[in-house]
């Protein structure tokens, strides 16, 4: 437990994908963050994954609008409510960090870390397990969600 005046450790929430398209799993999570007035940094070691996500977020659902930008494009990264980046630097003032594809980070400077990993990706799954252990050891609130068939999430008590 942090002493008075010390920063609280970030909450770590883990989302175990079971075959859904990445955008169909991420978009509702990002919408919830924005509803709570949180800026979000989405980080992956793969620029190709982020480029595809950038494209897919514009059209993931008819009539949807999820404001976001891809760092390095001709945008002002600081102004983006949702910033897609290969780096884990919250230049957009993000309170939430979403880690994809086995991306690792300390979580320092964020209130919530969301680790989204494909259960079929062995390396990403092992990174998530290590992150889970480290977050729990650091005294963070840790939650684990597994994707339900057909979409949505069910929380598994760890």
The pLDDT of residue 74 is 65
Give the DSSP H or E segment for 50: helix 47-57
Asked if pLDDT for residue 146 goes beyond 80, the answer is yes
Q: What is the pTM of this model?
A: 0.89
pLDDT tens, position by position, 84-95: 999 998 889 999
Map residue 125 onto helix, strand or coil.
Answer: helix
pLDDT tens, position by position, 60-113: 888 777 888 888 766 788 889 999 999 998 889 999 999 999 999 988 899 999
Asked if pLDDT for residue 4 goes beyond 60, the answer is no
Higher-confidence residue: 4 or 94? Answer: 94
> For residues 33 and 97, is the Cβ–Cβ distance under 8 A?
no
Give the DSSP H or E segment for 53: helix 47-57
- How far apart are alpha carbons 106 and 31 in whole angstroms? 24
Q: Give a three-class secondary structure readout of 142-158.
A: EEEEEECCCCCEEEECC
The pLDDT of residue 7 is 66
For the domain covering 11-151, report its CATH number. 3.40.50.10110
pLDDT tens, position by position, 7-49: 678 999 999 998 778 888 899 999 999 999 999 999 999 999 9
């Amino acid at each position: 437990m942090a002493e008075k005046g010390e920063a609280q450790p970030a909450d770590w929430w883990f989302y175990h994908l079971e075959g859904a398209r990445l955008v169909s799993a991420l978009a509702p999570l990002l919408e919830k963050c924005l509803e709570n007035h949180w800026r979000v940094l989405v980080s992956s070691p793969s620029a190709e994954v982020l480029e595809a996500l950038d494209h897919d977020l514009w059209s993931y659902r008819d009539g949807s609008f999820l404001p976001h930008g891809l760092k390095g494009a001709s945008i002002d990264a600081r102004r983006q409510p949702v910033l897609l980046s290969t780096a884990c630097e919250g230049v957009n003032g993000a309170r939430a960090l979403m880690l994809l594809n086995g991306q690792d980070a300390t979580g320092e400077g964020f209130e919530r870390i969301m680790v989204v990993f494909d259960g079929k990706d062995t390396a990403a799954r092992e990174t998530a397990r290590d992150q889970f252990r480290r977050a729990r050891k650091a005294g963070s609130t840790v939650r684990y969600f597994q994707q339900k068939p057909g979409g949505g999430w069910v929380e598994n008590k760890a």
